[in-house]
C-alpha cells in the first residue's frame, strides 16, 4: 500500500509502459543488430576433407578449402557476407621472414582466389601480420629478442600486395607496427590497388583473450610476449593517439580489439573520429560463453546476443565474431 501511494505522489512517468510487450520493445529498441553487421573469422588449413574442431574454441574449425566453400555458401544463405580468413600454416613452412606469406604456391592466397571466383559477392578480409608464418611467432621481425619496427614494414607490404592480388577486399593489419597503415596504403596505391580497403587494428591490446586463436593457428610467440607492440590494457587515451595516426595515414575503418573489456574505447573512438568503428569479439571472449553454455551455466543464444548488442550499443558499426553463423541462425529461427 505504501509503495502505491508513493508512486502516485512522486511521479506519473512509468518507464515500464514502453516495455509492456515485445512489439513495443522492438519498436523502441535503440540498437539494431543483424547478420549484416557481422564478419565471420574462419581458420583455413591446407589439404582436403579437413574439418578439425579447435579444442579451446568449440564450434569453430580449421577447414580445408573444399569443405570451406560449401560452408561459406551456407553462411551466405543466412545473410553473413563478410569473412576474415586466417591460415593455419605448417611449421615446416615458417621462417624468420614469414616468406611463405607471399609465396606463389601459398594455399591461403589460392583459397582467396577460389572463394572470390565462386562467390564474387562476398567480402574477404585478410590478416596482415607475420605471426602465422613466422618461426618466431611474432607479428614483426625478431632480432636479438627485439621486434623490429621499420624492417617489418616491407615484409607486411609484400604480404599485403600478395593478398590484394589474390582478391582481398579488405586488408587487416593486426601487427601494431608504427606507421604501417600509411606504408601499406602507399604500397597498395602504387601497385594500382586503390580500391582495396584497410581495416586497421587501431587499438589492439596485449590481451589474455587471444589464447584460443593462437591454439587454432599454432601461432603463439616462441619467446617473450607482445607487450612492446600491442597496447597496455590500462590505457584509453593512448587509443586516441593510435586512432589519430591511423586516420591520418589513410585507414578506412578502425578496429578495437578485444571488444568486451574495451567497450569504453569503442565508445571513445566512435565519438572522436568520423570513420566506421569495428569491434573484434575475440576468441577468448567467445570461448568463455561456449564453455559456460556447455556446462549449462549460461543460455548460449541469450548470452551471445547480449554481448554482441553491447558492442553495437557502445558504437561498433561492425563486429568480427566467432558467433556470426550461430547468431544468424538464431535470428532466423
Ligand atoms: C595476429 C592476430 C591475433 C588475433 C587476430 N590476429 C593474435 C595475436 O595478436 O596474438 C586474435 C584474434 C582472436 O583471439 O580471436 N596478429
The whole-model pTM stands at 0.95
Rounded to a whole number of angstroms, the distance between the first and last alpha carbons of the chain is 44
Read off the pLDDT of each residue in 210-238 and give the average, rounded to a whole number.
95
Question: What fold is seen in the domain 34-332?
Answer: TIM Barrel (3.20.20)
* Ligand 1 proximity of 321 Cβ (cutoff 6 Å): no
Atom of ligand 1 nearest to the CA of 132: 1
Catalytic residue list? 204, 257
* Ligand 1 proximity of 63 Cβ (cutoff 6 Å): no
Does residue 103 surpass a pLDDT of 80? yes
Distance between CA 166 and CA 56 in Å, rounded? Answer: 30
pLDDT at 3: 57
* Ligand 1 proximity of 199 Cβ (cutoff 6 Å): no
Does residue 1 surpass a pLDDT of 60? no
* Ligand 1 proximity of 129 Cβ (cutoff 6 Å): yes
Read off the pLDDT of each residue in 141-169 and give the average, rounded to a whole number.
97
Q: Where are the domains of the chain?
A: 34-332
Atom of ligand 1 nearest to the CA of 283: 15
Phi, psi of 78 (to 5 degrees): -95, 0
CA distances from 95 to 138, 227, 229 (A): 11, 22, 20
Atom of ligand 1 nearest to the CA of 175: 16
The burial class, CB within 10 Å (0-12 / 13-18 / 19+), for 6 is exposed
Could you report the per-residue pLDDT of 125-142, keeping only the tens digit for each? Answer: 999 999 999 999 999 999
Could you report the per-residue pLDDT of 236-261, keeping only the tens digit for each? Answer: 999 999 999 999 999 999 999 999 99
pLDDT at 11: 73
Amino acid at each position: 500500500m505504501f509503495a502505491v501511494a508513493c508512486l502516485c505522489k512522486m511521479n506519473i512517468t512509468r518507464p515500464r509502459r514502453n516495455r509492456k510487450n515485445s512489439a513495443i520493445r522492438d519498436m523502441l529498441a535503440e540498437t539494431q543488430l543483424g547478420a549484416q553487421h557481422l564478419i565471420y573469422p574462419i581458420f583455413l588449413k591446407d589439404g582436403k576433407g579437413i574439418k578439425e574442431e579447435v579444442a579451446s574454441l568449440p564450434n569453430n574449425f580449421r577447414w580445408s578449402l573444399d569443405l570451406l566453400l560449401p560452408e561459406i555458401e551456407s553462411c551466405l544463405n543466412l545473410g553473413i557476407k563478410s569473412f576474415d580468413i586466417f591460415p593455419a600454416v605448417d611449421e615446416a613452412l615458417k621462417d624468420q621472414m614469414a616468406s611463405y606469406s607471399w609465396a606463389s604456391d601459398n594455399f591461403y592466397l589460392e583459397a582467396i582466389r577460389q572463394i572470390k571466383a565462386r562467390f564474387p559477392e562476398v567480402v574477404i578480409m585478410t590478416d596482415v601480420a607475420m605471426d602465422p608464418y613466422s618461426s618466431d611467432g611474432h607479428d614483426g621481425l625478431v632480432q636479438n629478442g627485439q621486434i623490429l619496427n621499420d624492417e617489418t614494414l616491407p615484409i607486411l607490404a609484400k604480404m599485403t600486395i600478395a593478398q590484394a592480388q589474390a582478391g582481398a577486399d579488405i586488408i587487416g593489419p593486426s601487427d601494431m607496427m608504427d606507421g604501417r597503415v600509411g606504408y601499406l596504403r602507399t604500397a597498395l596505391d602504387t601497385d594500382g590497388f586503390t580500391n582495396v580497403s584497410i581495416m586497421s587494428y587501431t587499438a589492439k591490446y596485449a590481451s589474455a583473450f587471444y589464447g584460443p586463436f593462437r591454439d587454432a593457428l599454432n601461432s603463439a610467440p616462441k619467446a617473450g610476449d607482445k607487450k612492446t607492440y600491442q597496447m597496455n590494457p590500462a590505457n584509453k587515451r593512448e587509443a586516441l593517439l593510435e586512432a589519430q595516426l591511423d586516420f591520418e595515414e589513410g585507414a578506412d575503418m578502425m578496429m578495437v580489439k578485444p571488444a568486451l573489456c574495451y567497450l569504453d574505447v569503442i565508445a571513445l573512438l566512435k565519438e572522436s573520429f568520423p570513420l566506421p568503428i569495428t569491434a573484434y569479439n575475440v576468441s577468448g571472449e567467445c570461448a568463455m560463453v561456449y564453455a559456460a553454455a556447455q556446462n549449462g551455466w549460461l543460455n548460449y543464444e541469450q548470452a551471445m546476443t547480449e554481448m554482441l548488442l553491447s558492442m553495437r550499443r557502445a558504437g561498433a558499426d561492425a563486429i568480427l565474431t566467432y558467433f556470426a553463423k550461430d547468431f544468424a541462425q538464431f535470428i532466423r529461427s
